[in-house]
A and B are shown apart, each in its own frame.
Chain A
Amino acid sequence: MKNPKNTSDALEKAMNAVFALCGFLAVAFVLMITAFLVISGVPAIGEIGITDFLFGRVWASTAAEPQYGILSFILTSVYGTAGAIVIGVPIGLMCAVYLAKMSDGKNAGIVRTAVDLLSGIPSVVYGLLGMIIIVPLVREAFNLPDGANLFSAIIVLAVMILPSVISVSETAIKAVPKEYEEASLALGATKTETVFRVVVPAAKSGILTAVVLGIGRAIGEAMAVMMVAGNVANMPRLFRSVRFLTTAVASEMSYSSGLQRQALFSIALVLFMFILIINLILNLVVKRGEKNE
């Protein structure tokens, strides 16, 4: 005896399992990557010594007596990201204010399309433009022998983080209740005062989320940075050729072997830790924002 209800129940159950499987597949990938990075990254750190690895100032992986210190890469990534945030966030935030509050529909449409396009441009194109336009420009503007340095990388990164900063801040600003703004305007505040004293503070947690997302994008970028930063393992200075954590892995991976290769995995592990921490902060910021509302 066949019961139609039973077959549909079975189908429901089967589909449930399929959905759950697909859901957990994402988790599986994260676990796999984590496990892989830890397993392949830890041995070299052990062999080199964690202090020598994290705080060593010299990276000479192919020298007769190799040295594997990545302090310069870590500091470069931190400074580069900080620089990109300092330049990119104010521009992105003000663009978001313009989109959400100041513009009429037509202009906003044009700007928004441009921002969307900006986020779709592959990073190698940013790198190429940086290499052909920004690097020579920086060289001439600051009268340097060479323009491939931390400063050029910061400029490229600042442009690259704009789309995520703009779209997330815009959403946050739009979510501020209209009453706040109206009350401020009714009390005689100008539009600019209202934006900076009322709207932006009210959208604080959303804007912080945008900043953290920007940090994540900037610290993980490899291709564009590799083409404009010069890639020499120097301690970072604004007008000096530098190597980021990402480019350190990317530029040597193809032909490395032995301890050198393992050390590259260790660098990837350090980078992964950075991104993990950034994501934890992001979660914290978002949760706190929800609590306040």
Chain B
Amino acid sequence: MKKFMTMLLAVGISAAALAGCGGTAGTTNGATQTVSTDGSTSMEKVIGYLSEAYMAENSGAKITYNPTGSGSGIQAVSEGRCDIGLSSRDLKPEEAETLDATVIAIDGIAMIVNPQNPVSDLTIEQIGKLYTGEIANWSEVGGGDAPVVLIGREAASGTRDGFESITGTEDACKYTQELTSTGDVVQTVSTNPNAIGYASLASVKESVKLLSVEGITPTTETIQNGTYKIQRDFVFVTPKNKELSEAAQSFMDYATSEAADEMIEKAGAVPIKR
């Protein structure tokens, strides 16, 4: 009997746990103070910093974030399943017919090499060829006679997604190492003289050499005026024909205000120029 009871308990607990996992995190549009955001995984940090700062100031507000990817986020907002869609690409013409895009920040992706590497400038085409393995020796791009070691991020990384889409190397990169954090990328590049890597501009340190791309060095300024090429916009997507809820509008106003710049910088992105 005792055995039976405990077995029953075990089954009960596991059933409860499984039921808990099966639950979907639905968007809560009903509550006036909840702002639901849905979309780009690359924007996780930016949204995290922004919503934390916003919620600290507005105690009644709650910002939710559903990391699904830019495409899903745009679709979700067009179908009214969330208040604000998050996209790390610009809207396609057919999407722009019904949706508005507001750039809230810019993601600048810096190319880094070891300080011993004589190379200091690459074109986007060269970077693409390096990462697809077409160029396998540094001497082909003006460096010493040494094999190229390609350091990248894991498949789910937003930085990787941004880098590969801008350089046109989606699913074609022949990585030597796939690391799970920006810090690891910087660390690895700093210890391997033949390595090249990519990382958000904000996390580049003295221990590695920052490359200029097509002659332009990445700085907050060159990213803001668009001359540095390896960059993309972080966009808030909202419906054209429908007014935002009061809470969503207020969050959006905050995100586009000067007060948000500090948070955006903390999250490793570049604020837009005002």
Contacts and interface: CB of A to CB of B under 8 A. Distances in A.
B171 A232 contact: no
Interface stretch (B172-180, B211-219, B259-267): B172-180
Interface in A1-43: 20-21, 24, 27-28, 31-32, 35-36, 39-40
A31 B14 contact: yes
B161 to A, nearest CB: 8
A232 B175 contact: yes
Contacts of B96: none
B192 interface: yes
A226 interface: yes
Interface in A185-236: 226-227, 230-232
A146 B176 contact: yes
B147 to A, nearest CB: 4
Contacts of A110: none
B231 interface: no
A142 interface: no
Contacts of B155: 61-62, 251-252
Contact of B177 (A62, A132, A148, A254): A148
B187 interface: yes
A128 B48 CA distance: 27
Interface stretch (B2-10, B28-36, B55-63, B117-125): B2-10
A36 B17 contact: yes
B159 to A, nearest CB: 12
Contact of A255 (B17, B67, B195): B67
Interface residues of B, number: 38
Contacts of A148: 176-177, 188
A147 B157 CA distance: 23
A139 B147 CA distance: 12
A232 B173 CA distance: 11
B192 A139 contact: yes
A232 B131 CA distance: 14
Majority SS of interface residues in chain B?
mixed
B194 A135 contact: no
A60 interface: yes
A131 B184 contact: yes
B21 interface: yes
Contacts of A147: 192
A141 interface: no
Contacts of B21: 36, 40
A98 to B, nearest CB: 35
A103 interface: no
Given A32-B13, A255-B67, A231 B180 contact: yes
A144 to B, nearest CB: 9
A251 B188 CA distance: 17
Given A28-B13, A145-B147, A232 B176 contact: yes
Interface in A130-188: 131-132, 135-136, 139, 145-148
A281 to B, nearest CB: 26
B9 A28 contact: yes
A119 interface: no
A251 B155 CA distance: 8
B180 A255 contact: no
Interface string B153-168: 0111110000000000
A231 B177 contact: yes
A32 B10 contact: yes
Nearest to A60: B171
Contacts of A121: none
Contacts of A60: 171
Nearest to B179: A231
Contacts of A27: 6, 10
Given A28-B13, A36-B17, 4 more contacts: A62-B171, A231-B177, A231-B178, A255-B67
The 5 closest A-B pairs by CB, nearest first: A255-B156, A28-B10, A32-B14, A145-B147, A24-B6
23 contacts: A24-B6, A24-B9, A28-B10, A28-B13, A28-B14, A31-B14, A32-B13, A36-B21, A40-B21, A62-B171, A131-B184, A132-B187, A136-B191, A145-B148, A145-B149, A146-B192, A230-B178, A231-B154, A232-B176, A232-B178, A252-B154, A255-B157, A257-B68
